[in-house]
Amino acid sequence: MSAQADIILGCQWGDEGKGRIVDLYAAEYDVVARFGGGDNAGHSIVVGDRELALRIVPSGVLQPHVELFIGGGAVVNPTTLLGELERLADIGVDVPSRVRLSDRAHVVLPYHAARDAAAERARGDAALGTTGRGIGPAYVDRVARSGLRFADFAAPDSVAEKMRAAGADARAIDDAISSGERLRAYIVDGVEYLQERLQAGKRVLLEGAQGSLLDVGYGTYPFVTSSHTIAGGACTGLGIGPGAIGRVSGVFKAYCTRVGAGPFPSELHDERGERLRRQGGEFGTVTGRPRRCGWFDAVAARYAVALNALDGAIITKLDVLSGFERIGIVMGYRLGGRSVNFSQADNAALQLEIDEVPGWAEPIGDCRTIAELPENARAYVERLGEILAVPIELVSVGRERSQLAR
């Protein structure tokens, strides 16, 4: 009997809090598989007073029965992955028997990071705001058919030859080959691995990285990441057909944030934006950069719902809005006097149609059902459900992994 694979992904500009949601849902699955991105993506899970930050290993790591798979659509820095595996082992997480890495995943090497930094410097004021970790150049090499895959580590001489052709020095080559050898026990035929588990009826959860509005094809190009972050990317990133996809759930913050440059229509440039950043702890997991903050954008949200054919939505960080007297929702864009959709939006010239709804003063961290929320908080969640036109599955009401309301 074959099983279907469900997807959880971000539906804004990343940083929606996907990690803790995958952590929760993973308890009901046998495998959590990541389908794209690299160590430019950060996933945080808060357990009591401890925060676990992951960059490559899937977020189901705290569920001891779950297998953790890094798919062929990902680009992986071996040094980062090895460091993460060591830190997980140090806190008692069983790594060797649970983590597997697709042989088709591409390798991020030091010269990729160097190219990334040089390209950003060359762009000057038009810099894209990349993390500088070499993710884009690694994907460029993949498309140019000059990249290294983890399968290539089976032939170290070939790895050395390719790296020399790319300008790597002897030390970088030796380090890469050594890392490949240390990771050999984790590398598997990625297509066979996942297909076997689906055919055996295993429950599989597919984890997205970044957010839908950063998709290389359908995001705010060119201010996007270098991979496909939408639901369709799960198929190409893992080597499974669309018929294998079951339920798709999207994660949205109760407001919006963005890191780096690029269009962000609902951004607040006043004390309210600063307050969202302060109360939400809006600083990048990987870079530490302050995030730009703004109201919930209904136009962008509906676009993400359509891109991903969502079956349900999860709302995170509702607690950050506690204490706001009024809360804005961007309901429409106008450009030159006419209504435009997300794809047509010109950030610099947009006029926004904003609805303001009453806020709430009460703390909500102890609520465990949506019905327990203060009246205005509950009304806000209901309004978001109407906007998205899909059921709200879950609402987070605090940073700790147990602070969730259904």
The predicted-structure confidence for 227-242, as pLDDT tens digits, reads as follows 999 999 999 999 999 9
Q: Is the previous residue joined to 363 through a cis bond, with omega within 30 degrees of 0? A: no
Strand partners, 326: 358
Looking at per-residue pLDDT, the higher value among 47 and 118 belongs to: 118
List for the chain the helix, strand, coil content (%; round to 5): 40, 25, 40
Q: Which of 342, 338, 211 is nearest to 265 (CA)?
A: 342
Place of tokens 């050594």: 178
* Predicted pLDDT at 1: 44
Whole-angstrom Cα distance, residue 393 to residue 315?
Answer: 8
pTM score of the predicted model? 0.93
Percent of the chain with pLDDT over 70: 95
Is 116 designated active site?
no
**Across 129-142, average pLDDT:** 88
**Across 235-250, average pLDDT:** 96
The predicted-structure confidence for 178-191, as pLDDT tens digits, reads as follows 999 999 999 999 99
Q: Which amino acid is at 406?
A: R
Residue 385: phi, psi to the nearest 5? Answer: -60, -40
Residue 139 has pLDDT above 50, yes or no: yes
pLDDT band, residue 346 (cuts 50/70/90): low
281 CB neighbour count, 10 Å cutoff? 11
pLDDT band, residue 49 (cuts 50/70/90): low
Contact between 392 and 370 under an 8 Å Cβ cutoff? The reply is yes
Whole-angstrom Cα distance, residue 256 to residue 276?
Answer: 9
Q: Name the catalytic one among 43, 106, 112, 228.
A: 43
**Across 313-325, average pLDDT:** 97
Which domains occur in the chain, in start order?
5-105+185-405 (3.40.440.10)
Whole-angstrom Cα distance, residue 356 to residue 353?
Answer: 10
| Token pair in block for residue 65 | 């029965």
Q: Name the catalytic one among 15, 30, 103, 141.
A: 15
Pairing of the two strands 5-10 and 204-207: parallel
Q: How far is CA 76 from CA 23, 35, 222, 249, in A?
A: 21, 12, 22, 25
The predicted-structure confidence for 271-298, as pLDDT tens digits, reads as follows 999 999 999 999 876 667 899 999 999 9
Is 311 designated active site?
no
Whole-angstrom Cα distance, residue 251 to residue 120?
Answer: 30
Which residues neighbour 244 within 8 Å (Cβ) at sequence distance 6 or greater?
A: 2, 4, 5, 198, 235
pLDDT band, residue 124 (cuts 50/70/90): confident
Measured at the CA of 403, the angle between CA 401 and CA 406, to 5 degrees, comes to: 115
Helix (H, G, I), strand (E, B) or coil at 207: strand
